[in-house]
């Protein structure tokens, strides 16, 4: 017998997606709503609760979190190599932010949180601790806020064999190393691997003591241009469309973006094939380039003492080498599906990237286009206004993400109330906040954007 849960919405996943959706829904609904929030983890915050301790957001805190509360207060960094750029929250700050938001919603009686519970489907879930099963009523809307939940190395089965005598740790355990191995072998091509290399170098490890197994080389965005300042962000977008319009091929486009200082690659003699495009600081790029022992022989098959077998061959490593596993799928790329379906709402990015903005926008649209009297819940209209956009893995994906995301932004931006809401939330990187003073740089960005968007978009579509 299931315990009945009285809720208007059952949100599965209390990570960034679920929290941004719930926050916007509750803030903008014109009626009192009850939300049941379910997560198999013990609290809110999603993958950040299990992240490696030296992780930070790769982009400004202002772009992350929920629409109703600025993460980090919009402060600039006052010291260090990113002085002058917007701050980027670390793991404890992100977890504390979500814990506080959840506590406030619970105290207000708006959210009942079921931590440590597995969603079973069909509106029911089970507690890990008690085994009790719960169920919502038939009128409750289900929100799947785990559709794009990233895989992280600490929680994934190892993807390669480990032979006796080999030393392999997940990236989370790097901070617990005590015996100063003579060599670190960092495995992975994405943000986690770059974080591990930067952290090792920042803690005095000799670059020559690092072997970096990098199956693919990544393109990464210049963090200095992905900032919550419309002159900077829109100026970058304008250049992107200008260069797209002129590009002869995808490779040519990325080279042009590199010349324009928008895209970085670690090794200028290697053509990257990966474009998930997290942001990277110039100081990090300098550090990453210090590592010369880069192995490009594909994925690892097995790690043994003094030896690593890869798809493309075998390499020798030190007998005491410590292999740091940073390889996981990270961003997921399941098929795009309509956000609103009769049985489930599935938040996904809507503009290019920026998943928290997509989830908040979905919550806002759900709250404001609800007609209790109507039999249909207006889902067709909601889907027209908010179509999903994909994440990117390859360069073609990245072009497609920008095409789809820009068209979606044009669609939701044509709705006056959404435009006004989107200009008011810091999660929206392309916003011009009310009261923003005009400046020659902003005028120039807007003028170039107006000129370049249509031809740039058309060419990007061909390239994708």
Query: By the criterion CB under 6 A, which residues form the site for ligand FAD?
Result: 12-18, 38-41, 46-47, 51, 55, 57-59, 64, 118-119, 145-146, 148-150, 152, 191-192, 330-331, 354-356
Which one, 190 or 235, has the nearer CB to ligand FAD? 190
Closest distance between ligand FAD and the C-beta of residue 48, in Å? 7
Q: How far is the CB of 344 from ligand FAD (least distance, A)?
A: 13
State the Cα–Cα distance between residues 222 and 225, nearest whole angstrom.
Answer: 6
Q: Which is nearer to ligand FAD, 5 or 166 (CB)?
A: 5
* Pick 110 or 194: Cβ nearer ligand FAD: 194
Minimum separation from the CB atom of position 104 to ligand FAD (A): 19
Q: How far is the CB of 428 from ligand FAD (least distance, A)?
A: 12
CB closer to ligand FAD out of 223 and 255:
223
Q: Which is nearer to ligand FAD, 13 or 170 (CB)?
A: 13
Helices 16-28 + 91-107 axis angle, to 10: 40
Query: By C-beta, is 165 or 334 nearer to ligand FAD?
Result: 334
356 phi, psi to nearest 5 deg: -65, -40
- For the CB of residue 278, give the shortest distance to ligand FAD in the complex, in Å: 7
Report residue 263 as tokens. Answer: 């895209």
Q: How far is the CB of 117 from ligand FAD (least distance, A)?
A: 6
Q: How many residues does the chain have?
A: 464
Nearer to ligand FAD (CB atom), residue 15 or residue 72: 15
Smallest distance from the beta carbon of 191 to ligand FAD, in angstroms? Answer: 6
Cβ proximity to ligand FAD, 86 vs 244, nearer residue: 86
What is the spatial distance between Cα 310 and Cα 308, in angstroms, rounded to a whole number? 6
Nearest approach in angstroms of CB 164 to ligand FAD is 31
Query: Cα(254)–Cα(236) distance, rounded to whole angstroms?
Result: 14
Q: How far is the CB of 21 from ligand FAD (least distance, A)?
A: 9
Tell me which residue has its CB nearest to ligand FAD. 46
**Shortest distance, position 82 Cβ to ligand FAD, whole Å:** 14
CA atoms within 13 A on the CB side of 244: 29
Q: Which is nearer to ligand FAD, 46 or 456 (CB)?
A: 46
Using the minimum distance from each CB to ligand FAD, give the nearer residue, 118 or 309.
118
């Amino acid at each position: 017998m299931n315990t009945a849960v009285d809720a208007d919405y059952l949100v599965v996943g209390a990570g960034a997606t679920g929290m941004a959706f719930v926050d916007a829904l509750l803030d903008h609904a014109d009626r009192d709503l009850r939300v049941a929030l379910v997560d198999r983890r013990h609290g809110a915050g999603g993958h950040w609760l299990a992240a490696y301790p030296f992780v930070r957001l790769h982009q400004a805190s202002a772009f992350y979190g929920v629409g109703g509360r600025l993460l980090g207060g919009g402060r600039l960094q006052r010291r260090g190599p990113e002085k002058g750029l917007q701050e980027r929250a670390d793991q404890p700050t992100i977890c504390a932010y979500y814990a506080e938001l959840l506590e406030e919603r619970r105290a207000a009686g708006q959210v009942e949180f079921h931590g440590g519970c597995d969603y079973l489907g069909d509106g029911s879930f089970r507690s890990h601790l008690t085994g009790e099963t719960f169920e919502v009523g038939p009128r409750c809307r289900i929100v799947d806020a785990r559709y794009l939940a990233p895989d992280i190395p600490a929680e994934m089965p190892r993807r390669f064999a480990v032979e006796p005598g080999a030393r392999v740790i997940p990236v989370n355990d790097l901070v617990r190393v005590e015996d100063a191995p003579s060599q670190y072998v960092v495995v992975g091509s994405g943000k986690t691997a770059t974080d591990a290399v930067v952290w090792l170098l920042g803690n005095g490890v000799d670059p020559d003591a690092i072997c970096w197994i990098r199956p693919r080389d990544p393109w990464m965005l210049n963090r200095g241009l992905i900032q919550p300042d419309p002159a900077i962000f829109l100026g970058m977008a304008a250049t992107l469309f200008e260069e797209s319009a002129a590009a002869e091929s995808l490779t040519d486009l990325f080279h042009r973006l590199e010349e324009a200082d928008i895209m970085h690659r670690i090794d200028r003699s290697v053509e990257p094939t990966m474009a998930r495009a997290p942001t990277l600081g110039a100081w990090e790029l300098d550090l990453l380039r210090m590592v010369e022992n880069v192995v490009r022989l594909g994925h690892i098959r097995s790690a043994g003492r003094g030896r690593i077998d890869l798809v493309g061959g075998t390499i020798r490593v030190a007998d005491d080498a410590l292999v740091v596993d940073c390889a996981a799928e990270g961003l997921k790329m399941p098929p795009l599906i309509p956000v609103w379906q009769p049985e489930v709402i599935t938040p996904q990015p809507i503009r290019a990237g920026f998943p928290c903005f997509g989830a908040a926008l979905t919550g806002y649209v759900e709250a404001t286009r609800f007609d209790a009297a109507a039999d249909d819940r207006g889902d067709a209209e909601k889907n027209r206004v908010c179509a999903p956009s994909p994440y990117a893995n390859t360069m073609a994906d990245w072009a497609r993400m920008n095409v789809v995301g820009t068209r979606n932004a044009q669609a939701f931006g044509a709705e006056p109330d959404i435009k006004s809401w989107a200009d008011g939330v810091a999660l929206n990187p392309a916003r011009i906040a009310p009261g923003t003073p005009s400046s020659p740089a902003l005028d120039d960005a807007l003028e170039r954007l107006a000129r370049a968007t249509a031809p740039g978009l058309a060419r990007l579509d061909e390239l994708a």
